A and B are shown apart, each in its own frame.
Chain A
Amino acid sequence: MHIPDGFIPLWQAAIYYVITIVALYFALNWAKQNLDEKRVPLMAVLAAFIFAIQAMNIPIPWGTSGHMLGAALVAIVLGSPWAAVLVLTVVLTVQGFFFGDGGITALGANILDMGVIAGFTGYGVFTLLKKLNLWVAIFIAGWASIFVAAIAVAIQMALAGTFPADLGLFFMGLYHGVIGIAEGLITVIAILAIQRVRPDLLLWSNKGKAEVEK
């Protein structure tokens, strides 16, 4: 759902840039306070993984495809949506400047949607549901993160006059509701993999293993 140049009028793109820069300020403050030596490599590996997996478009019905965002994954693993903002900022900036994936004028909006909104949605859903079942919470957090981000894009497209509001919401919601299943599954698999090799990197492992050992 990388927005290209020309889909958002420049004055609106500027507003999204400002919101994103404010979010980045808070995200860097989080990093300053919370990143320890072993979480820097974790974030960097997640950035590499997310860059690669975003190139792996999965086919869905209606001649369409999609890829995971990874914001929920980062937020859950690092225990903060601000971590997702940082990792997705890096990934989306590299995609925009080197590969033309997402317009440079739309980079603020793209970070806002796929980093800030997806990260906070994923983390919020995970926090709400983790008491019920950890893995169900992770799956739904992954699904919700991309679905809500897609709805945000549809609203931006409607505000920009680029898509009609009703059809934009319908198609963006429909496609990403399906892609969200892949996002949820890959998020679960990635966290299972991290738990297998480095349970100490996951926040909940400090609180006692009983919660995760089923």
Chain B
Amino acid sequence: MNKRDKSFIIGGLIVAIVIAILAPFLASADPDGLESAAEKILLVEETEPVLEVPLPDYLVPAWGESPLGGVVSIVLGTLIAFLAMVGLATTARWFKSENGSG
């Protein structure tokens, strides 16, 4: 990887993490489009989520509604998304060289 790619990654991650840190403070807490529609016209009973997740609603459960939990959750999610994408893309490329097709 050359220097330009490295600085692109660092710069891109900084932009993403700044957004992640600001999101709990700036984001609107109003329901999103689907939730808003559901509030008006839902024909079925709402159910509980099937899976118990570690950071529900982008909050740290032990910290209640504290925006700090939001910051930690969203920054963590941003980094996990980055690493998962590197992993998936690298795996796909690795299969290419395994097959010897290029």
- On whether the beta carbons of B92 and A35 are closer than 8 Å, the reply is yes
User: Across the interface, which residues of A come within 8 angstroms of B46, CB to CB?
Assistant: 4, 6
Fill in one digit per residue for B1-42: 1 if any A CB lies within 8 Å of its CB, else 0.
100110011011101110110111011111111101110111
- On whether the beta carbons of A97 and B53 are closer than 8 Å, the reply is yes
Interface residues of A in 89-115 (CB under 8 A from B): 89-91, 93-101, 103-105
- On whether the beta carbons of B42 and A48 are closer than 8 Å, the reply is no
User: Across the interface, which residues of B come within 8 angstroms of A141, CB to CB?
Assistant: none
Pick the contact of B58: A87, A89, A91, A99 (CB < 8 A). A99
User: Across the interface, which residues of B come within 8 angstroms of A171, CB to CB?
Assistant: 33, 36-37, 40-41
The A interface is mostly helix, strand or loop, or mixed, namely helix
- On whether the beta carbons of A6 and B36 are closer than 8 Å, the reply is no
- On whether the beta carbons of B53 and A1 are closer than 8 Å, the reply is no
User: Across the interface, which residues of A come within 8 angstroms of B83, CB to CB?
Assistant: 44
Would you call B88 an interface residue if the criterion is a C-beta within 8 Å of the partner chain's C-beta atoms? Answer: yes
Would you call B49 an interface residue if the criterion is a C-beta within 8 Å of the partner chain's C-beta atoms? Answer: yes
Pick the contact of A162: B19, B40, B44 (CB < 8 A). B44
User: Across the interface, which residues of B come within 8 angstroms of A50, CB to CB?
Assistant: 81
- On whether the beta carbons of B37 and A5 are closer than 8 Å, the reply is no
Interface residues of B in 81-97 (CB under 8 A from A): 81-86, 88-90, 92-93, 95-96
User: Across the interface, which residues of A come within 8 angstroms of B29, CB to CB?
Assistant: 57, 65
Would you call A71 an interface residue if the criterion is a C-beta within 8 Å of the partner chain's C-beta atoms? Answer: no
Interface residues of B in 36-75 (CB under 8 A from A): 36-38, 40-51, 53-58, 73-74
- On whether the beta carbons of A161 and B30 are closer than 8 Å, the reply is no
User: Across the interface, which residues of A come within 8 angstroms of B4, CB to CB?
Assistant: 198
Fill in one digit per residue for A7-50: 1 if any B CB lies within 8 Å of its CB, else 0.
10000000000000000000010011101011111111111111
- On whether the beta carbons of B89 and A100 are closer than 8 Å, the reply is no
**A-B contact sample (16 more), CB < 8 A, given A51-B82, A99-B73:** A1-B33, A2-B34, A3-B34, A5-B50, A7-B38, A31-B89, A43-B85, A44-B85, A44-B86, A45-B8, A47-B84, A51-B16, A55-B24, A89-B88, A97-B53, A171-B36
A27 to chain B, nearest CB (A): 9
Among A35, A65, A164, max chain B CB count under 10 A is at A65
Q: State in angstroms the CA–CA spacing of A168 and B82 once bound together.
A: 34
Q: State in angstroms the CA–CA spacing of A56 and B90 once bound together.
A: 29
Fill in one digit per residue for A178-190: 1 if any B CB lies within 8 Å of its CB, else 0.
0100000000000
Would you call A64 an interface residue if the criterion is a C-beta within 8 Å of the partner chain's C-beta atoms? Answer: yes
- On whether the beta carbons of B28 and A59 are closer than 8 Å, the reply is yes
Q: State in angstroms the CA–CA spacing of A168 and B56 once bound together.
A: 27
Q: State in angstroms the CA–CA spacing of A33 and B27 once bound together.
A: 38
A-B pairs, top 4 by smallest CB distance, nearest first, are A6-B47, A45-B12, A175-B33, A65-B28
Q: State in angstroms the CA–CA spacing of A93 and B56 once bound together.
A: 14
Pick the contact of B8: A42, A97, A101, A176 (CB < 8 A). A42
Would you call A142 an interface residue if the criterion is a C-beta within 8 Å of the partner chain's C-beta atoms? Answer: no
